[in-house]
Amino acid sequence: MSIYRSLPLLALLLLLTTGCDSEKTAEPDSGGQVTVRYMHMGVAADDGDNNPYVTRQFPDAVAEHFPDIALKSEMLPEDPYTKTLLVQLSSGEGPDFFEWWPMRQLEELVAAGYLQDLTGMDILNRFTPDALEGYTINGKVYGMPKGLSIMATWYNKELFEQHDIDAFPSDWPSFLAACEKLKQAGVTPIVMPDEDRWFIQFGLYQLAASIVYAADPDFDKKLLAGERAFANSPWREVLLMYKSLYDRGYIAPGSLDIGAEKAAALFNDGKAAMMFNGNWDYARLTANPASRGAGSAGGLKSNGGANDFQRGFMPLPGNEPGQPLLLSIGPAGGTVINANTRHLSEVLDILAYQFDPDSPLYGLYKQNYDVFPMYKGEDLGIPEFQDYTALSKTHDSVYFSNQAWPVGVADALCRGFQDWIAGHGTVDDILAAMDERLEALRD
């Protein structure tokens, strides 16, 4: 997945590891091979493997091309991945290279001295300057991105047409009207996997693009400078608007018991008209529907069972009619190298091979990550993205909010919203928790 989920508190993890033996204990190599470790997030909450490239294709291709290198590939679910990785890095260990998030989240690892400086290396010639921007800190480059990530609304075009919704709504009132029309027709408008709390961000940041940043593009800079707070800001409106989708019955009931795989299956089976997600989940949300044993969740009604249908991908509009609609587009997650790796030359050889357009490994890589454009407005040749690509050429965009926040703030947001869905707490409790976490992490 994505890669644009909330992260645990780095400072807390550093405290937990204080006093740990920081002397490196190298993993012994065997059979004359150098063992190189690679870590990647992305195992779904229900333990389903959603990235065969990482678990099988990548290691096998490296073994075939580099007989002296054994690539040990590891995958963990989002929360364990981050916690495990930060603990290892703080003790001077960790994988030789791994996946990480851009911008502020990258900045914290750079400040801690955990990442290899790649500035000036030939491998960076594979990327456009725009793509590298999210991995550039103080003029130095620390990572290799997949491209751009996009948050949007996946929707069932045929269900929309069947209920006389001619086009995807372009403002908030028309979006609510479309949801109400679907609901009155017995169709579940939206399914969300709130059991996996980071998915809560995928709707919120789309709304925030138009509500928070259209009027104040420097909002996050002011937050970090202590000039603004979440409380008494447009973020209150964002949270209330998103919660109204639950209160009106537009999001499937029982969402706290629905995980990512189940939500995708319900969408693919035509049992819900929409799901807030991103381009990174293309494979899962365009899979040919079949009987998956997903059953019913929260009283979802079947709309014809396992039918194939045309899918659309468009922004959730937070704007009022006539006001600007901003898109939610940010740098995608990418590959970084451990500053303490003992195998820098081997890692660079592996990555150079992966990004060589003439290598079979590059072909496998692009098959898995071809949904990430390298620049805004790039036509990927993917039908589901064509309307969004056209829109991005005429509309401004905003990075994902958590990409500018210190690690831990988005986690407070998602946990608080989960509690709110469950009937505990208020919107102001969430904002206060975010401000409290921000204050603790600002410096």
- pLDDT tens per residue across span 215-270: 999 999 999 999 999 999 999 999 999 999 999 999 999 999 999 999 999 999 99
Q: What is the pLDDT of residues 1-19, one digit of tens each?
A: 333 333 333 443 433 333 3
Q: Measure the N-to-C terminal CA separation of the chain; round to a whole number of Å.
A: 29
- Domain(s) labelled CATH 3.40.190.10 in the chain stretch across 31-147+332-374, 151-329+398-441
pLDDT at 78 over 90: no
DSSP designation for 393: T
**Cα atoms in the 13 Å half-sphere on the side-chain side of 123:** 22
pLDDT confidence of residue 373: 92
Question: 283 and 224 in contact (C-beta within 8 Å)?
Answer: no
Predicted confidence band of residue 130 (pLDDT cuts 50, 70, 90):
confident
Q: What percent of the chain has pLDDT over 70?
A: 86
Q: What integer pLDDT is reported at residue 356 of this predicted model?
A: 92
Is residue 290 scored above 70 in pLDDT? no
**32 band by pLDDT with thresholds 50, 70 and 90:** confident
Under the banding of pLDDT at 50, 70 and 90, the label for residue 82 is confident
pLDDT at 293 over 90: no
Instruction: Please determine, for residue 306, whether its predicted confidence score (pLDDT) is greater than 50.
Output: no
pLDDT band, very low/low/confident/very high, at 26 (cuts 50, 70, 90): very low
Query: Could you tell me if residue 232 is left (phi over 0), alpha (psi between -120 and 50 degrees) or otherwise beta?
Result: left
Residue type present at position 358: D
> How does residue 367 score in pLDDT terms, banded at 50, 70 and 90?
confident
Q: Give the pLDDT of residue 384.
A: 96
Structure tokens at 204: 């919120």
Evaluate if residue 376 carries a pLDDT over 90.
no
Sheet of 97-100, strands arranged across:
69-76, 34-41, 97-100, 334-337, 144-145
Average pLDDT in the 338-367 region?
95
Q: What percent of the chain has pLDDT over 90?
A: 75
pLDDT value, residue 45: 40
Specify the pLDDT at position 49: 53
Averaged pLDDT of the chain: 88
Q: Between residues 12 and 203, which one has the greater pLDDT?
A: 203
CA atoms of 88 and 200, how far apart (whole Å)? 28
Confidence (pLDDT) at 186: 97
31-147+332-374, superfamily in CATH? Periplasmic binding protein-like II (3.40.190.10)
The predicted pLDDT at position 301 comes to 38
CATH of 151-329+398-441, one of 3.40.50.2300, 3.40.190.10, 1.20.58.60, 3.30.1280.10: 3.40.190.10
* Region 183-205 average pLDDT: 97
Tell me the per-residue pLDDT of 310-325, one tens digit each, with 9 for 90 and over.
Answer: 999 999 999 999 999 9
HEC secondary structure over 10-72 = HHHHHHHCCCCCCCCCCCCCCCCCEEEEEEEECCCCCCCCCCHHHHHHHHHHHHHHCCCEEEE
Residue 295 pLDDT > 60, yes or no?
no
Which pTM does this prediction carry? 0.81
Per-residue pLDDT tens digits for 99-109: 999 998 899 89
The mean pLDDT of 151-162, rounded to a whole number, is 98
Is it the case that residue 124 has pLDDT exceeding 70?
yes
**Across residues 370-394, what is the average pLDDT?**
93
11: nearest Cα among 389, 407, 281, 310: 407
355 has a pLDDT exceeding 60 = yes
Q: In the block, which residue shows the tokens 């990430």? A: 372
